[in-house]
Structure 1
């Protein structure tokens, strides 16, 4: 198996059962949604971004949608924007690799104050 360009690159399984592929996207890495549990009545290939807060984006397909972008290294972690199609909004996030096979992803949105959520992604083998 060839060495990865960066430990963050590869396929990551989220707690919700989605797979995000982080790869080189030009100037910086990005993450694309390559697999996920679709809503009832849909398949991975047909599922649309139905929950997006912007109605003009609800017809786009979720498969291969960029859900992590503007990634930039900040010492031992990455800062990025992430999009959560389950909730239909994006947030500022930090992504901190924990060894080679786990990554802590913490996203925060500002309501009246910052509301943050953290989850652990596991490298898909």
Structure 2
């Protein structure tokens, strides 16, 4: 059962276009704490302070779950496949970097780990997840 958006899957490459220019000054990263609904509106992730960084865990699943709750069945580590998804840490070591937060993420839909970058866009939170040079972006909204 898919409970986290396939956007985390990072399966389709995105063109990387940009220019390198020196930054004069950037505003500090806007707070990303709180509960955020994923783009597919199937689950809510809570972003919170953990030590000197930010972390994120699955707070709620908004779709029907199997008896006993959805599990981390796609985890590459077989010993972790019976973990419940609700309460599972899926983002960690998110630290300010310019006007964003960068750290690590995990997608229980496919068992992949990725580099995560969060930044606020008004009332939304943009998540960009990358495995090597393959990246996907999705917008989260306040739950």
SS in 2 for 1:68: strand
Deviation at 1:46, TM superposition (A): 2.0
How many residue pairs get matched?
A: 113
| TM-score, normalised via structure 2 length | 0.72
| TM-score, normalised via structure 1 length | 0.82
- The residue number in structure 2 matching 1:116 is 135
- The residue number in structure 2 matching 1:27 is 52
Q: Which 5+ residue runs of structure 1 have no aligned equivalent?
A: 1-5
Runs of 4+ more than 6 Å apart: none
User: Which of structures 1 and 2 has the larger relative contact order (alpha carbons within 8 angstroms, sep 6+)?
Assistant: 2
The structure whose Rg is larger is 2
| Aligned residues: CA RMSD | 1.7
SS in 2 for 1:47: coil
Change (3 A) 1:39 1:85: farther
Q: How does 1:1-125 map to 2 (within 5 A)?
A: 7-16=31-40, 17-37=42-62, 42-43=66-67, 46-99=69-122, 101-110=123-132, 114-124=133-143
